[in-house]
């Protein structure tokens, strides 16, 4: 589950992913997250079978550690957006009361 570009080699020198590997990972992540957005799902893994093709491509294109990071970052970024909206609303209210 999760592609690790440097794990297939039998040599003792593991090779980090090359630019094309990283780009393939990012592209498959973007397609998967777009599918989640279209399905109205925030947390990856909660979509059921709605994005199964995109998920499979994502898992085959990215290292597991990258998938974990991207998935956590998606949820965190949305929480930060919500917090920012609330903070801005509170600041606007404070400014109105201060006038």
Cα separation, 17 vs 67, in Å, equals 14
Q: Is residue 26 pLDDT above 60, yes or no?
A: yes
Tell me what pLDDT residue 13 has: 57
Distance CA 16, CA 6 (A): 6
Task: Check residues 38 and 85 and name the one with the higher pLDDT.
Answer: 38
pTM above 0.75, yes or no: no
Q: Does residue 8 carry a pLDDT above 70?
A: no
Whether 27 and 85 have beta carbons less than 8 Å apart is answered as no
């Amino acid at each position: 589950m999760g592609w690790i570009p440097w794990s297939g080699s039998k040599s003792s020198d593991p090779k980090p992913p090359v630019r094309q590997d990283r780009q393939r990972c990012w592209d498959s992540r973007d397609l998967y997250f777009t599918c989640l957005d279209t399905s109205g799902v925030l947390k990856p893994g909660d979509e059921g079978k709605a994005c199964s093709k995109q998920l499979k491509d994502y898992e085959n294109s990215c290292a597991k550690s990258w998938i974990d990071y991207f998935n956590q970052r998606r949820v965190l970024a949305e929480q930060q957006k919500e917090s920012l909206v609330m903070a801005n609303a509170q600041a606007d209210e404070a400014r109105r009361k201060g006038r």
